[in-house]
Amino acid sequence: MTTLLGATHPLEQTVNLAELEALGRAALDQNALEYYASGANDEVTLRENREGFRRLKLRPRMLVDVSDVETRTTLLGLPVQMPIAIAPSAFHGLAHADAELGTARGAARMGTVMTLSTFSNTPIEAVAAQATAGFWFQLYLYRQREISAEVVQRAEAAGARALVLTVDAPFLGRREPNERNRFALPPHLGVPNAGTRQELAGVETESGSQLVNYFQGLVDKTVTWNDLAWLRGVTSLPIVLKGILTAEDAELAAQHGCHIWVSNHGGRQLDTAISAVEALPEVVDAVAGRSEVYLDGGVTRGTDVLKALALGAQGVFLGRAALWGLAAGGEAGVARTLDLLNEELRLAMALCGKVTVGELGRDLIRN
């Protein structure tokens, strides 16, 4: 396991993601903590994302040579050191002064992909320079399509390997702590890929979350499957649809030549929606190998990664877990998060009698 800060540093003494989360939470102020941690309404789906993994049981095989377990794989053809990558999340500057640059460096150190959010605090080009293992770019379609086209073209020019279109957020879910305490971005943080700092800072916050009020006026609520043709016209990048939870939508995504990211937005959109891992099998079955399938939501252990891969995901993406690591130690905290999880995956694979991720299948899972 990689030593990043010296054995006596609290970050290096963590042995699991729960301990990293505790360090990260302790480093945040109330505004940032509530923004990162909150889910929609009663947070049923937020909790179910983790519980869905816990309900799945493993069926390990014995008497297999597991002296050399390999977790390397590919994501859309890009070689990565592990089937674990970074999901898009907004405002990394709330967690650490290095913001998305720290996240990008941490992911690059561990040889995996970072997905940069439209609502990052750092320009695309600066993050791309640090994301040496490769990066994807996440997009919301704006009402002003020319702005969306410009952002997509910036990402492609900077070297993005895929475009991730978030499809589950025509409106933002109601995250009650953010509404109650009127979440606002600190004045020193901008949103250079979604508008200027002055635009966001000037949004009325007396009646709720600054982000919600800003988002409602920015994002196009009329987007349908037909709009994918427009998006294809402005980029040559592979398109990944993030927020798919049903076989019906998975089939449509495959028909439109898109890859699929199974996600409920970390339990932040529609409360009581199905958990990501529960939705995964029907999505994989519907796609039938025509598209790659990814997952985020509730991944906190190597056995979670193993289960997602066994059910057909090509890789898993970390949202909050990466942010806790960033808050706990910047680049080193992100790298520590990835390293811990990958080592847990490697051990779980060995104990299941599997030596490559390509060997992982549904024979490993009992519901």
pLDDT tens-place string over residues 56-98: 999 999 999 999 999 999 999 999 999 999 999 999 999 999 9
Q: Tell me what the mean pLDDT of segment 14-37 comes to.
A: 96
pLDDT at 5: 62
The domain tally of the chain equals 1
Residues 6+ apart with CB under 8 A from 228: 165, 239, 256, 258
Domain assignment of residue 12, yes or no: no
Instruction: Copy the structure tokens of residue 360.
Output: 């992982």
Segments forming the whole domain that contains residue 211: 17-61+72-358
Q: Given 92, 96, 259, 265, which residue is catalytic?
A: 265
Residue 244 lies in a domain: yes
Q: Which residues touch 25 (CB under 8 Å, ≥6 apart)?
A: 33, 37, 324, 327
88 belongs to a structural domain: yes
The mean predicted confidence, pLDDT, of the chain is 93
Residue 259 covered by a domain: yes
pLDDT tens, residue by residue, 316-364? 999 999 999 999 999 999 999 999 999 999 999 999 999 999 999 999 9
Give residue 205's pLDDT band: very low, low, confident or very high (50, 70, 90): very low
Note whether residue 254 is domain-resident: yes
Query: Is residue 118 one of the residues assigned to a domain?
Result: yes
What is the pLDDT averaged over residues 182-201?
Answer: 72
pLDDT confidence tier of residue 203, bands split at 50, 70 and 90: very low
Going by C-alpha positions, the residue among 45, 120, 124 that lies closest to residue 89 is 120
User: Cβ distance 142 to 218 under 8 Å?
Assistant: yes
Does the residue 366 lie in any domain?
A: no
Please indicate whether residue 265 is annotated as part of the active site.
yes
- CATH at 157: 3.20.20.70
Contact present, 271 and 43 (Cβ < 8 Å): yes
Contact 319, 301 (CB under 8 A): no
Which tens digit of pLDDT belongs to each residue from 258-287?
A: 999 999 999 999 999 999 999 999 999 999
- Which residues pair with residue 242 across a beta bridge? 166, 261
Q: What does the alpha-carbon distance between residue 104 and residue 79 come to, in Å, rounded to a whole number?
A: 17
In a domain, 174, yes or no: yes
pTM exceeds cut of 0.85: yes
